[in-house]
Amino acid sequence: MNLIDVNSKILIFSKSCSYKGHDPFDGLNSILFNFIPSFKNTFLGLAYIQLFKQSPLNLRPLLGVPKKRNPKGIGLFILGLIEDYKRTSDTTYLKEATTLADWLLTQKCDQDKWQHACWGYHFDWKARAFYVPQGKPNVITTIYVSQALFALANILEQQGSGEAEKFREPALDSANFIVNTLYTEADGRSFFAYIPGESAFVHNASLWAAAWVSVVGRYTQNTLYCDMALKVARQSASEQSEDGSWVYGARHHHQFIDGFHTGYNLEALDLIRKTLDVTEFDESIEKGLTYYKTHFFDEDGTAKYYNNNRYPLDMHSVAQAVITLLKVGGTQEDFDLAEKVINWSINELYLSDKKRFVYQKTKRFVNKINYTRWTQAWVYYSFSYFNQMQAKRNESY
């Protein structure tokens, strides 16, 4: 199938839904919790989320969970629209990205409370390590939104648009939130926390925060931010296993190794070294990328979820694989593998009649629920990036 056509259909479908949808973790948005809100931050709340997440039957319409936009998902769509604009020079993509970016500016978390620009999810979220109520920022959402706003601002500035600064300012300000609110020293570590007030150490969250702080530090010539980014990045680099892998985090239930979080780590470290022009992470990235390519792909192009288990088959794993292979690797071999992974995903996980991808496929069943932020947004961004990179390669031949 024509990849540009597949990706175009995902965008058209998502736009027809106003980019709204369900999310694997939005179960606590059920109207049932209007009557028992205190149960959200309990084991019942955690079990309820997992029931919604694991069930191949969409229980949300029955239990009053509405479809909504997710700020991180919108950030990913903007990044994809920018890639399509770069490939085609069609300003329709840029106009759509600007409209979505305007919406993101209305979704900032309470700035009186958090002092700086930051974003969170549109639902209450209960994990084993912490509870995150709606309206509380998290670092990953903040970073993907900020990347999107910053990238859009740079393109608008090149065009001479007067709108660039209104998007750039909050993107840069988010680094102040990360530094002032999320920097943590605990258990002998220096890192950036996932959410305010929590000390759970998670590699991908800390590294992505360091990456964004390094970008802002370099752009604003803030050496303190650059130094802090390096300090935090060194923490995760020092905890990389000898074989090149990282477990998800420090807590006992975080001792797993999965594909897309490994990809996050590598992409973030690579961004830090390129932004700050350092070589100290070269060995860590090389080892990590070798481990990644050796343990997270099957011969048929399957992007495996775990290092020791291909299931569940998940488009999030596919999307991050494409981005990691092209951004961190970039060789012909990496490009060929990314193309193989994409072709496998279209054959195995694409619903041609619905013009979108499934959420997951397990050994027992296929979960076809449309999760906009988790699936379609990631697919659109990663495929748009692949198409743009392929176009550039074709131009160079």
Q: What angle is formed at CA 70 by the lines to CA 69 and CA 76, rounded to 5 degrees? A: 110
Annotate 364-382 with three-state secondary structure: CCEECCCEHHHHHHHHHHH
Amino acid identity, position 245 = S
**pLDDT (mean) for 365-373:** 94
- For tokens 């069930």, what's the residue? 55
pLDDT (0 to 100) of residue 127: 78
Measured over the CA atoms of residue 36, residue 37, residue 42 and residue 44, the dihedral's sign is positive
| Measured torsion, CA atoms of residues 320, 322, 323, 326, in degrees rounded to the nearest 10 | 150
pLDDT of residue 229: 98
What number of CA atoms fall less than 13 Å from residue 7's CA on the CB side? 23
pTM: 0.95
Extract the tokens encoding 304: 């495996």
- Give residue limits of the domains in the chain: 108-295
C-alpha distances out from residue 14 to 80, 132, 367, Å: 12, 27, 18
- Which has the higher per-residue pLDDT, 395 or 150? 150
The tokens for 63 are 């239990």
- pLDDT cut 70: percent of the chain above it: 100
Distance CA(85)–CA(76), nearest Å, equals 14
CATH for 108-295 is 1.50.10.10
Pick the residue with more confidence: 103 or 48? 103
DSSP state at residue 36? -
- For residue 397, the model assigns a pLDDT of 65
Read off the pLDDT of each residue in 186-201 and give the average, rounded to a whole number.
Answer: 94
Nearest by Cα to 318 from 369, 378, 257, 385:
378
Mean pLDDT of the chain: 94
Q: How far apart are CA 302 and CA 348, in angstroms?
A: 9
Asked whether residue 129 carries a pLDDT value surpassing 80, the answer given is no
Task: Show the tokens assigned to 200.
Answer: 């759970």
Is 80 exceeded by the pLDDT of residue 90?
Answer: yes
> Which pLDDT tens digit goes with each residue over 293-350?
999 999 999 999 999 999 999 999 999 999 999 999 999 999 999 999 999 999 999 9
Query: Alpha-carbon distance 100 to 104, whole Å?
Result: 6
Residue 211 has pLDDT above 90, yes or no: yes
Backbone angles phi, psi at 189, to 5 degrees: -115, 155
Tell me the CA distances in angstroms from 352 to 168, 170, 361, 369, one per residue in order: 38, 38, 16, 14
Give the percent of the chain with pLDDT over 90. 84
Question: 386, 4 in Cβ contact below 8 A?
Answer: no
DSSP string, 82-123: HHHHHHH--HHHHHHHHHHHHHHHTT---HHHHSS-----SS
What six digits make up the tokens of 337?
A: 């593998």
**pLDDT tens column, 255-296:** 999 999 999 999 999 999 999 999 999 999 999 999 999 999
**pLDDT, position 194:** 95
Q: 27-55: per-residue pLDDT in tens?
A: 888 888 777 877 787 887 788 788 888 88
Kindly list the distances between the CA atom of residue 229 and the CA atoms of 93, 159, 175, 208, in Å, as whole numbers in the listed order: 33, 31, 11, 10
Average pLDDT estimate for 136-158? 97
